[in-house]
Amino acid sequence: MALSSSEGIGANEKGMDGAAEAKLLAEFEQHLRNAELAPATIINYIADVRKVLRWLSQTKGVSFPACGLNSQDLRQYCIYLLKVEEHTGTTVSRYLCSIGRFCRFVLAIGVAAPNKGIRIELPRQPKHILPRALNWEEVQRLLQAARTESSISAERDYAIMQVLLQTGMRVGELSDMRMGDVCISERQARVSVNRSRGGEKREIPLNASACRALSEYLAVRTPVPGVEHVFLTRDGRPFSTRSVQRIVSYYAGRAGLDGVSAKTLRYTCAKHLLEETGDLALISRLLGYSRIESAARYGIWRRDDAAQVMENSSLNIF
């Protein structure tokens, strides 16, 4: 897959605060309007650029344009979109198109110095090769590594690992979970994913292991005024997707498991559910695939008692 942008933007001596960045985006939006682009296209361009600027700031610790934007940045961003957010190559190409147009705009108005010749080459991934999934023994090792953690964040980390593994939730969905999305009562335990890909809400039953781990964490979670995210850092900020990935990698390392990411836990959940139910439509609904064809790579299936299926899963290990 070849992803390219004709020009990048070099670092400037001064950073840009929130107000200045908002002003630049407003000018870029007006530039797009002057080009008579469709309103929906303009909205997508602005959203794509705002997202990459936020990612650059989080990654480099400094605001645009002081951080610049070079080939390495774009390559890392593409990998982030593909691996962490699980976008397709087509969607990543769209992001690069938006970034390329923004680069040309800021160069034209003299906000940043040019950095020409950016070109990103990412290997084409064969569609028939599935990501790695853990077997039952590896799942036990991973959970044991997280369960025996003695840090002050042990309950939080273990809940993150269990929720990812038991629900097959995307890492972005987990980091965006709010307190109001979680329902744990004597009658039922579930989590609502309201901000899933495609905007469709779905509910995922929580089996005993996920419910217990999440309950133990919520019992020690320190409330932060105005912050409703379920998973918080030690200083009370919402967890980022990168922080979730770091936690998974940390415990995978402790368990002696290579190549394990949050996406690995998602595929592990799907694979084990498939082997135990044979119901493709159910997996597609639980994991939030917009098309059943996306889940078809796991096999073919047919059952509909989601809560019972999740409870009976062989991954239901605390």
pLDDT computed for residue 195 by the predictor: 57
Whether the CA torsion 170, 174, 177, 183 is positive or negative: it is: positive
- pLDDT tens digits, 277-313: 777 777 777 887 655 444 444 443 344 455 555 566 6
Here the tokens at position 20 are 């200045």
Q: Which residues of the chain have pLDDT under 50?
A: 1-8, 10-16, 66, 117-118, 120-123, 125-128, 197, 292-304
Residues 6 or more apart in contact with residue 281 via CB below 8 angstroms: 292, 301, 302, 304
Phi/psi at 213 (nearest 5 deg)?
-65, -40
User: So what's the pLDDT on residue 68?
Assistant: 59
pLDDT recorded at residue 159 = 95
**What CA–CA distance (Å, rounded) separates 93 from 77?**
12
Residue 178 · residue 229 · CB < 8 Å = yes
pLDDT digits (tens, 9 = 90+) for 43-91: 888 888 888 888 877 876 666 654 556 677 778 888 888 877 777 777 7
User: How many whole angstroms from its chain centre is CA 19?
Assistant: 27
Predicted pLDDT at 8: 47
CA-angle at 232, arms to 313 and 221, nearest 5°: 80
Query: What is the reported pLDDT for 308?
Result: 59
Reduced to 3 states (helix: H, G, I; strand: E, B; else coil), residue 278 is: coil
For each of the domains in the chain, give its residue range(s) and CATH number, in order of start: 2-121 (1.10.150.130), 136-312 (1.10.443.10)
Q: State how far the Cα of 133 lies from the Cα of 297, in Å rounded to an integer.
A: 13
